[in-house]
Amino acid sequence: MDLKLALSVGLLATSSATPAATLAEAIGADLPELMRLYRELHATPELSMQEVRTPARLAPEMRKLGFQVTEKVGQTGAVAVMRNGPGPVLMIRADMDALPIKEQTGLPFASKVVGKLRDGTETPVMHACGHDTHITSWLATAKRLAAMKDQWSGTLVMILQSGEETGEGARAMLGDGLYSRFPKPGYVFAFHDSASLPAGVIGLAPGYTTASVDNVDITVRGIGGHGAAPHATKDPIVLASRIVVALQTLVSREKNPLDPAVVTVGSFQAGSKHNIIPDEAKLQLTVRTYKPEVRRMLLDGIARIARGEAISAGVPDERMPIVSIREDQHTPATLNSEALANRALALFRTHFGADRTTILPPSMVGEDVGRYWLNDPSIQGTLFWVGGVPQAKWDSVNGDTTKLPSLHSPFWAPDAGAVISTATEAMTIAALDILKKS
């Protein structure tokens, strides 16, 4: 729905909507209030696992709608349950954390928040991934489904999840008894705003949609000394450089070219002065794959290459590189359940039209939502995408989004009205389809 049209509808209609009103009109009636909430959330972002204000702000709203709400699940998450007769259990998830980024959008409600990282370092904070649109749509969907209780039967479980950006949130909620303390879902839906689609267009990838993500640290140890006497040292900078280059052969020469993967060295830190060869260098890597066996091959290969290059350089056994895989930060790939994804895709095409629905290729970004149905055949889950690129900007680059801000950019400013209204409408019709009365 066009934002101006939605706003005008909102001024003329009540938020409860009349029986004759369409779903789009009812969402349009809610939109002015929702946009106020969105701007509030955007201006007050919270870092991963530090989300305190956000769930406290949303929990009372959900209780007003008739949900039973439990806060502080998985540290800072919230779970809202509405039982509405016999039927399936559907879970709808929204993530709520922001990023340590200084906002540069120029929006009048831009974030000026300064937070603290876990090591105490102060940092600007911004909703640079659009989770503020996710939270707002989550409440909007709850409001629509609560108003339409006569049209569905079953149990609705809606969760606000913390720590998606760090890969901790889904694990924390599951570890805190999400499926034992609350109804276990048979279906899970989530959406993410997209910087690769025009505003209001829905994208869905049956099968893999986001990648497995691993953070790997390598401490390359050498023997330091004077820069004028390199022969008396084992230079860790040269050794680390050799490791960086050799790592690329894992993708280019050891992996099946039909299996996507990325090995990126994002940080290389060593040394303190021009004429000092240091004792060690530190590398930080991100490793991204889809298939578990490809992930294992790459992680094993990283350790092998690091050790092999050190042996080649003559580093003694007691100074071999230390390779640390941050298992606590691992995010598994999100594999959309094929049956549910195709069901949703057909539903969206029928409801929105083919011009607003597309099949997307998999992405190498990470998302921990797949944990909710990973390795559990009793649960079907799907993550879909809602375009956020303002139409004028999309047209100005002829759809070449490499020329526009991406997710996690300090300049990312989606067409929030289009994202929120489209996502709410899509999530509501998907929920009604799953929970439809026999």
List active site positions: 97, 164
Residues 6 or more apart in contact with residue 386 via CB below 8 angstroms: 191, 192, 193, 194, 197, 200, 201, 202, 203, 419, 422, 423, 426
The gap from C-alpha 19 to its chain's centroid, in whole angstroms, comes to 36
Both tokens assigned to 267: 């940080």
Nearest to 267 by CA among 206, 205, 218, 328: 218
SS3 29: helix
Nearest to 206 by CA among 91, 337, 93: 337
Nearest to 112 by CA among 8, 42, 15, 174: 42
Both tokens assigned to 209: 């949609």
Number of Cβ within a 10 Å radius of residue 427: 26
Q: Specify which residues 282 forms β-bridges with.
A: 219, 269
Radius of gyration of the chain (CA): 24
Q: Which residue has the tokens 């008396």?
A: 232
Question: Where do the H-state alpha helices sit in 188-291?
Answer: 236-249
Nearest to 333 by CA among 206, 210, 215, 214: 210
- Cα separation, 80 vs 71, whole angstroms: 9
Nearest to 431 by CA among 34, 182, 145: 145
In this structure, are residues 285 and 264 in contact, taking their beta carbons and an 8 Å threshold? Answer: yes
- Cα separation, 73 vs 177, whole angstroms: 8
In this structure, are residues 336 and 207 in contact, taking their beta carbons and an 8 Å threshold? Answer: yes
In this structure, are residues 31 and 23 in contact, taking their beta carbons and an 8 Å threshold? Answer: no
